[in-house]
Amino acid sequence: MEENKIYRLEEMLDSMKDSIDNIASVIAKQKRLLEIVGDAPDAEDFADFIEASEKQIEDYEEQKEKLLGRKSKLDFVIKSAKENEATDTLVNNFMDAIGMFD
């Protein structure tokens, strides 16, 4: 019998969770930094920096939302594979077919 690779998907899921947490932390810190800079007496001197940082925060928030969606789908696949032997076989065969984790 071939190796069951569902545990590898669980490792991916853990990495996704860590990435989501990291992105959330970066977003919070950047927002706090923008508050500090925006409240400074010479804030207008940093208008370009503030604008660029706000755009970067938006990009990070989009990345976070994509990761949350992927995490949810991967979690569903893992749970389905654990609950149903046919799904487990299908998922493992699919991973083998595309060379995932080789």
Per-residue pLDDT of 76-85, as tens digits, reads 999 999 999 9
Question: Which two structure tokens, joined as six digits, stand for 37?
Answer: 């800079």
Cα 40 from Cα 85, distance rounded (Å): 60
At CA 60, angle to CA 7 and CA 23, rounded to 5?
Answer: 50
Would you give the end-to-end CA distance of the chain in angstroms? 16
pTM: 0.85
Cα 19 from Cα 63, distance rounded (Å): 10
> How does DSSP classify residue 32?
H
Q: What confidence category does residue 2 fall into, taking pLDDT thresholds of 50, 70 and 90?
A: low
Residues 6+ apart with CB under 8 A from 79: none
Task: Report CA Rg, the chain.
Answer: 20
Give the per-residue pLDDT at 102: 83
Please state, rounded to an integer, the average pLDDT across all residues of the chain: 95
Cα 26 from Cα 2, distance rounded (Å): 41
